[in-house]
Amino acid sequence: MACFRIDNRLVHGQVIEAWLPYTDARHLIVANDDLAENIFCQQIISLAVPQRVTIHFVPLSQLAETLSRCGDKSFVLFASCQDAYTAYQNGVAMPELNIGNLHYAEGKRQLLPHVAVSAEDTAALCALRAADVLLDFRCVPTETVRGLDVQL
C-alpha cells in the first residue's frame, strides 16, 4: 500500500532518514503543482534522495496515473491539506494520511506541537476523516500514532 504524508517542507531529513526506510518505499512522489514545473528545485531536491529511491515530481492531476505506474512501494508527499484533499477528490485511494508538519502562521491555530491549521486545513482534514481516511499525526514513524484523539 502506498503511504501518504502532508509536510509543508516536502523532502527533508525526516522523510529521507526515517519515513523512506520505515516504509521501504522505492518511489518518492512529490505531488505539488508548483514544484512539478520547477526543474531547478527538482534537481536540488533530488540530490538528497538515496539512489535506491526513484523520485517523481508530479502535478496533482497526474498523481493517480503516477501511482498506478509506481505501485504500492510509493511514498507520496503533499505540501498542504488542500492538496491531499484534492488528490482524494481526483480518485486517489488514501486509506491513511500522515500529517507530519504544518508550520504556524498568522490565521492558524496550533493543533499539536508540529501541526498548525487554518480554517481551510481543518475543512480538508474533516472531509478526509468523514470519508474514512485515517488521520495519523506523527513527525516520525517511531512516535505513537495519534489520530482519533485529535480534535479538529
Kind of pairing between the strands at 27-31 and 74-78:
parallel
- The pLDDT of residue 148 is 65
- Residue 108's pLDDT band (boundaries 50, 70, 90)? very high
- The pLDDT of residue 59 is 98
Residue 56: name the closest of 64, 44, 46, 41 by CA. Answer: 46
27 part of the active site: no
Percent of the chain clearing pLDDT 90 (strictly above): 89
Compute CA distances 75 → 6, 40, 93, 120, 151, whole Å: 11, 22, 13, 24, 26
- Rounded mean pLDDT, 15-27: 96
CB distance 36 to 61 below 8 Å: no
Q: Which domains does the chain have, with CATH numbers?
A: 3-136 (3.40.35.10)
- Rounded mean pLDDT, 94-115: 94
From the list 12, 27, 103, 114, the catalytic residue is 12
Q: What is the pTM of this model?
A: 0.94
Residue type, 55: I
**pLDDT tens-digit series, residues 45-80:** 999 999 999 999 999 999 999 999 998 999 999 999
